[in-house]
Amino acid sequence: LRSCSPGQARRTNASRRARLVARFGDIYAQERLDAETLLRTYISDTEMVQRIIFIAAVESFHAAKMAYRQFKVRVRETLSLGHSGPESLEDTVLDYIVRHEDLYDVQASVNEVIRSMNINPKISFPPEIDFIVISTLIRELCRVAFSMQTLIPPLDIAFGIDGELFSETKYHRSFDSDFTAALVAYHVWPALMENDVVIVKGEAVTKR
């Protein structure tokens, strides 16, 4: 094991949180738009393109959180054998994960996301093309979602369903929305949450 000072994860929590929140914003501004441009070469339906990207984001967070839980169990089992302090086992485990995030098998999560998207009834793709074309976006989302699980408290995305009441605190309306409509037709980007409080708004389309 590489040496690491006790409580490293807790001491760096604020700076890591700021970096990850900024990175989430960067992905929205850059990788999301790159993926949208790429998808438009295969799909002319704007709504379908945006639905695909939103579902990719949701599935990426789901896959990364699952991978984090499994990774944490393995680390805890290994470190508990020789743990003696001074910090708690949980803090030691967290320090180790923060130090060794490069051991996260992000490609396994990307594959899991693509598998889930292939069987999602809300999205479709021309049969000759695979969702792997947006794997850059998926990989970056998985990486940031995995790292967000190491924060205290962890960050997560808001749950969103078609037809829900539009929330000004959770979402910006897309420019092509009906601004008088009260319900979400579909989501473009998820909101980022900390302890059920929105810290970065998502984007949604409202229509009558």
What is the per-residue pLDDT across 89-143, written as a single tens digit (0 to 9) for each? Answer: 778 888 888 998 999 999 999 999 999 999 999 998 887 778 999 999 999 999 9
How many domains in the chain? Answer: 2
Q: Identify whether residues 89 and 13 lie together within a single domain.
A: yes
3 lies in some domain: no
Same domain, 102 and 188: no
For residue 65, being part of any structural domain is answered with yes
For the entire predicted model, the pTM comes to 0.91
Residues of the domain holding 110: 8-154
Distance in angstroms (rounded) separating the CA atoms of residues 114 and 123: 12
Instruction: Provide DSSP, the chain.
Output: -----TTHHHHTHHHHHHHHHHHHHHHHHTHHHHHHHHHHTT---HHHHHHHHHHHHHHHHHHHHHHHHHHHHHHHHHHHTT---SS-HHHHHHHHHHHTGGGS-HHHHHHHHHHHHHT-TT----TT--GGGGHHHHHHHHHHHHHHTTSSSPEEEPP--TTPBP-TTTEEEPTTS-TT--BEEEEEEPPEEETTEEEE-EEEEE--
Please check whether residues 50 and 142 belong to one and the same domain. Answer: yes
Question: What are the pLDDT digits (tens) for 8-61?
Answer: 788 888 999 999 999 999 999 999 999 999 999 999 999 999 999 999 999 999
Residue 1 lies in a domain: no
In whole angstroms, how far apart are CA 109 and each of 68, 78, 106, 159? 10, 23, 5, 20
Q: Which of 63-67, 159-163, 200-204 has the lowest mean pLDDT?
A: 159-163
Phi/psi at 156 (nearest 5 deg)? -150, 170
Based on the fold, state whether residues 149 and 163 are members of the same structural domain: no
- For residues 134 and 192, state if they share a domain: no
Tens of pLDDT along 67-97? 999 999 998 888 778 766 667 777 888 888 8
